[in-house]
Amino acid sequence: MTLNIPPHSLYTMLGVLGLLTLGSAVTMGLGLKNPSRDYSELRLRIRSWWIMVTILFLVLVSSKTTAIVFFGFLSFLTLKEFLSIVPTRQADRRVIFWTYLSIPLQYYWVSMGWYGMFIIFIPVYVFLFLPMRMILIGETQGFIHSAGLLHWAVMLTVFAISHIAYLLTLPVLNGAAGNIGLVLFLLLMTEFNDVCQYIWGKMLGRHKIIPKVSPNKTWEGFLGGFISTTVCAGYVAPLLTPLLFEQSLIAGGIIAVAGFVGDVVISSVKRDLHIKDSGSLIPGHGGILDRLDSLIYTAPLFFHFLYYLAY
């Protein structure tokens, strides 16, 4: 089933491509103006953004099935990366197979639009099944640690991310944006919040918010990002979602807070493991988990807020 591009979603995509074009031009101008300075990392980041945005937009406008498969593949890459950086027992290899098997099953429920199974499959059935499979192996040393780790891995990388895909199966309530608009709003506001928190933190940051976890995070950056994202969402959400202005402000606030929490939670994981990045798959950005850390929290929280109000 082909996904048409509703006008508001199309204009949003063109706007993002315009911003990337502007970013590329500014970077090129900076290189010409200051040839002695090294802008290679900035160029690398923008080049990666071009690739990621192009792939995402092509997937979204192709078909609903293609988009769901894409997000399922994203869950696979994120789970694989997460399990590659955390310590697991040799005995759990056969159990890990079942964590990967949860991906096609979860996204099958998404493709069916079976909300009841989508919402309980991992938190209930996978949660109960994995320890049972571990028991059959007969290894009790490190059982609690492994059970918690595998459950958390599946919740973060499969259950949370699958909420993005389920947005594409919801009934269309905003014909000018379609289901693509829901996904675009979530992704854009999450990234916008990350950028705003970084910029406000750089400009005004003085008071550390959680220095032991993320020394660069400040109250000024958090509050600046929160206000910017909330206000922006108030005007953008009615164009891309069925939310009203007041509801959109709340959605923006939820995304701002959830994005911050997701960022620092994954930062805590990396600090515990004494690593800087979760991987090196995305040049200039690190790994998939580094890029999706905020979305892991914003996706389910925005989804359920929207679902409660509109569906």
Domain presence at residue 101: yes
Which residues span the domain enclosing 141?
64-169
| Predicted confidence (pLDDT) at residue 1 exceeds the cutoff of 50 | no
HEC letters along 31-64: HHHCCCCCCHHHHHHHHHHHHHHHHHHHHHHHEH
Domain presence at residue 159: yes
Contact of 76 with 101, CB cutoff 8 Å: no
Domain presence at residue 210: no
Give me the pLDDT at residue 284, please.
64
Nearest to 201 by CA among 190, 215, 216, 214: 216
Domain presence at residue 28: no
| Predicted confidence (pLDDT) at residue 261 exceeds the cutoff of 90 | yes
Nearest to 257 by CA among 210, 305, 293, 222: 222
Sign of CA dihedral 115, 119, 122, 127: negative
Domain presence at residue 245: no
Output the pTM of the full model: 0.94
Predicted confidence band of residue 52 (pLDDT cuts 50, 70, 90): very high
Number of domains observed in the structure of the chain? 1
Express each pLDDT in 106-162 by its tens digit. Answer: 999 999 999 999 999 999 999 999 999 999 988 889 999 999 999 999 999 999 999
| Predicted confidence (pLDDT) at residue 2 exceeds the cutoff of 50 | no
Express each pLDDT in 268-307 by its tens digit. Answer: 999 999 888 887 777 767 789 998 999 999 999 999 999 9
Which has the minimum average pLDDT: 206-210, 227-231, 252-256? 206-210
Domain presence at residue 18: no
Domain presence at residue 263: no
At residue 282, the 3 state secondary structure works out as: strand
138 burial type by CB count under 10 A (0-12 exposed, 13-18 middle, 19+ buried): exposed
Which has the minimum average pLDDT: 23-32, 108-117, 181-190, 278-287? 278-287
Averaged pLDDT of the chain: 93
Domain presence at residue 193: no
What is d(CA 191, CA 196) in angstroms, rounded to the nearest whole number? Answer: 9
